[in-house]
A and B are shown apart, each in its own frame.
Chain A
Amino acid sequence: MGRFLVQRLVHLVWVLLAVSIFVFLLIHLSGDPIHLLTPLDAKPEDVERVRRLYGLDQPIPVQYLRFLRNALRGDLGESFRYQRPAFELVMQRLPATALLALVTLGLTIVVGIPVGLWLGARAGHAADWVISLVTFVFISLPSFWLGVLLILLFADRLRVLPASGFESPVYLVLPCLTLSVYTTGLITRLVRADVLEVLRQDFIRTARAKGVGERMVLARHALRNALISTVTVLGLQLGNLLGGSVVVESVFAWPGVGWLMLQGIQTRDLPLVRAVVLVVGSVFVLINLVVDVLYLYLDPRIRYDHTR
């Protein structure tokens, strides 16, 4: 276990390095950032002076090395636009995104697993057909469209929920609902499938033959398998949630890191984008690490190999 952890942490360093280079190239390859940092009616000498102050006149490799040196000291640079440490800006907005993701995941687990279990036990019944159809549609809906429709319905027509921002917990409802439709549909279907598979396996039949309570059998094995699948998929879904959150944050003006990154890219705020991608990337890797550990714990049959 210890060796495994060390391996993953080394991996994290590799990833962060790759990500930082990637972001650097990205911003610089897309044209001179100075034009988006300064308005057109600024005098040329002011533009040049500001360019030098931002350090954008140095050759790219030099800029990158300077960044690396600072990063190792914990300084991820200062946002061009906000003139505050980029790391601080990201950490300030991270909780909003994290909250969104966590509540979505919570909703997914609380609704998806029980419904999936219930459906699996009643496979073939009318309720199963209907709900399966519903979940199928759920995983096919574009999140931004759903968000727009929900705003139209609940905020505009019915006036019962707020349309944007994050002023109090009730503002969480629509964005989380939007995001959790997809994940809940996914998990419900997955759990249902797992339950069905478990019901088929030999040892269940043996257990039944032995007269062990069916309920208990179902509960232990199905739940265990369901959890494994859920953990795997949710870990993978985290990537989707982070990407999905960019869209949803934009639609709902949710003050999280997704929207921050989008703004940063559009204004070529290099330090900010770098900081967002690095932090989000690290979080992502760390969460995957946790998922891997959970996985090992839940199912010792799975042997860990290099590509999981």
Chain B
Amino acid sequence: MITPARPRPRRRRPGQFHAGLGIVCGVLLIAVLAPHLSPHGYADQDLLRSLQPPAWVKGGDWVYPLGTDRLGRDLLSRLMHGARVSIAVALLSVGLGGGLGTVLGLSAGYFGRWLDRIISRLIDVQLSFPPVFIAIAVMAALGQSLIKLIVVLALVTWVQYARIARANTMSMREREFVLAARALGADESRVLLRHVLPSILPPLLVVAAINMSSVILAEAALSFLGLGIQPPTPAWGSMVSEGRSVQSLAWWNTVFPGMAIAILVIGANLLGDGLQRER
């Protein structure tokens, strides 16, 4: 989980941003419309059709376009429903973590003194925790649940936003337009909301986009280890794990969910990259 160390060169590639946005929105759309779009239910079993190959391979048919898993469940439908988990976790964790981090970083940077000291200490301590390691430990101990997963990932990532928010707020604090607003008697919250926040938002959005790809990968890894959401809801990571027992015979169970993860992450990375260049 990196934060940008230096500003990127000015080479313009606006196509990246749009491509990334397209991919992410595409997945979001699929996720939202999954119950209507998917050809079958994600839990519908047909044990007679178990481990059927994709349609274009001998033995497959277009009723189950990407093949079936060991219980005869349609892979395409499960992929679509799995998108819901990935997108939900991606957006909500980033939102929650970002929101929390921004608020805390803003407060620390603006109000300073003891608030800053506490929050900075908190940031420091948490930065010393290897993030995914801790997420794994927590989820393994607390059990599976979508909510817990989102909260845990948010709690592990908020520091990245907080640091940037704090640093930028501190520099904003002394800028003329802020000083002017305060001189004019505007109350603090107004200043914060109308002047400071909009200025520090752009770099935070960049962090959010980059963070999103890390969060998606983390969720996939946790699901793979069996520590993510509760079955029977499909998640791409756990689908890869389920496909492992039959990976020689039925490669599609392992390959397609992994590809889905990679595509979404590529989209998030394109988004992040594109956001940086557009600055």
Chain A positions within 8 Å of B, measured between CB atoms, are: 11-12, 14-15, 18-19, 23, 26-27, 29-30, 136-137, 139-145, 148-149, 152, 156, 186, 190, 193-194, 196-197, 200, 228-229, 232-233, 236-240, 242-244, 246-247, 250, 258, 261-262, 265-266, 273, 277, 280-281, 284-285, 288, 306-307
Contacts and interface: CB of A to CB of B under 8 A. Distances in A.
A240 B1 contact: yes
B141 A243 contact: no
B198 interface: no
Contact of A142 (B7, B123, B129, B217): B217
Interface residues of B, number: 55
B18 to A, nearest CB: 16
B132 A244 contact: yes
A18 B130 contact: no
B97 interface: no
Given A30-B143, A144-B237, A307-B120, A243 B128 contact: no
7 contacts: A140-B266, A142-B221, A142-B262, A145-B262, A242-B130, A262-B225, A284-B128
A250 B225 contact: yes
A14 B131 CA distance: 17
A23 B125 contact: no
Contact of A285 (B128, B143, B217): B128
B262 A137 contact: yes
Contacts of B120: 306-307
Nearest to B255: A149
A97 B12 CA distance: 41
Contact of A30 (B141, B221, B261): B141
B265 interface: yes
B198 to A, nearest CB: 23
Interface in B116-142: 120-121, 123-125, 127-133, 135-138, 140-142
Interface stretch (B36-44, B58-66, B246-254): B246-254
Contacts, number: 163
Given A23-B137, A140-B266, A288-B127, 7 more contacts: A11-B128, A137-B262, A145-B240, A149-B258, A200-B9, A239-B131, A261-B133
Label chain B's interface by main secondary structure: helix
Contacts of B255: 149
B166 interface: yes
B132 A148 contact: no
A174 to B, nearest CB: 15
Interface string B189-207: 0000000000000000000
Nearest to A242: B130
Nearest to A245: B133
8 closest A-B pairs by CB: A243-B132, A145-B258, A239-B130, A265-B140, A140-B265, A242-B130, A30-B141, A15-B128
Contacts of B6: 193-194, 197, 229
Given A142-B237, A288-B128, A243 B133 contact: yes
B147 to A, nearest CB: 16
Contacts of A29: 141-142
A280 B133 contact: yes
A258 to B, nearest CB: 8
Contacts of B247: 148, 152, 156
Interface string B1-26: 11101111101000000000000000
Contacts of A284: 128-130
Given A196-B9, A236-B2, A266-B140, A242 B133 contact: yes
Nearest to A273: B137
A142 B45 CA distance: 28
Nearest to A289: B128
A265 B5 contact: no
A145 B261 contact: yes
Contacts of A14: 121, 125
B212 to A, nearest CB: 12
A26 B251 contact: no
